[in-house]
Amino acid sequence: MGTLIDPLEHPAVRAWGTLLPARLEPTSIAALRDRDKTAVYRLDGVGLEGAPVVAKRCHAATGGIERTVYEEILPHLPVTALHYYGHVAEDDGSCWLFLEDAGGVPFSPLAEGHRVLVARWLALLHTSAARVRPATPLPDRGPAHYLDHLRSARRTILDSLGDSAASPGDREVLEGIVAQCDVVEARWHEVEEWCAALPATLVHGDFRPKNVHVRADGAGARLLAMDWETAGWGAPAADLASIRGLLGELDGLTTYQSIARESWPGLDVRSILRSVEAGKFFRRLAAISWSSLSLSSRWEKGVAHMQVHQAELAAAIEAASWTR
What mean pLDDT is reported for the chain?
92
pLDDT in tens, 75-90: 999 999 999 999 999 9
The mean per-residue pLDDT over the stretch 107-136 comes to 90
Q: Does 257 share its domain with 312?
A: yes
The 10s digit of each residue's pLDDT in 19-45 is 999 999 999 999 998 876 689 999 999
CATH number at residue 50: 3.30.200.20
76 and 128 assigned to the same domain = no
Query: Are residues 268 and 199 located together in one domain of the fold?
Result: yes
Q: From the CA atom positions of the chain, what is the Rg in Å?
A: 21
Question: Domain for residue 162, yes or no?
Answer: no
| Helix count and strand count (H, E) for the chain | 10, 10
Last residue of a domain, one of 79, 100, 121: 100
Q: What is the pLDDT of residue 61?
A: 95
pLDDT at position 250, please? 61
CA angle 186, 190, 191 (to 5 degrees): 95
Does 128 fall in a domain? yes
Q: Are residues 66 and 182 in the same domain?
A: no
pLDDT at res. 2:
47
Q: 90 and 223: one domain?
A: no
Residue 285 has pLDDT above 90, yes or no: yes
Cα separation, 191 vs 93, whole angstroms: 36
pLDDT in tens, 39-67: 999 999 999 999 999 999 999 999 999 99
pLDDT at position 243, please? Answer: 76
Among 100, 133, 160, the domain-final residue is 100
Mean pLDDT for the stretch of residues 8-15: 96
Return the CATH number at 232. 3.90.1200.10
Is 77 part of a structural domain of the chain? yes
- 158 assigned to some structural domain: no
Exposure string of 9-39, with b = 16+ CB inside 10 Å and e = fewer, is ebebbebbeeeebeeebbeebeeeeeeeeeb
The reply to whether 276 and 138 lie within a common domain is yes
- Asked whether residue 119 falls in the same domain as residue 238, the answer is yes
In a domain, 157, yes or no: no
Can you give the residue range of the structural domain that contains 275?
A: 105-143+169-319
Instruction: Count up the domains in the chain and report the number.
Output: 2
212 - beta bridge partners? 225
Catalogue the E-assigned strands of the chain: 28-35, 38-44, 53-59, 84-89, 94-100, 105-106, 201-203, 212-217, 220-225, 232-234
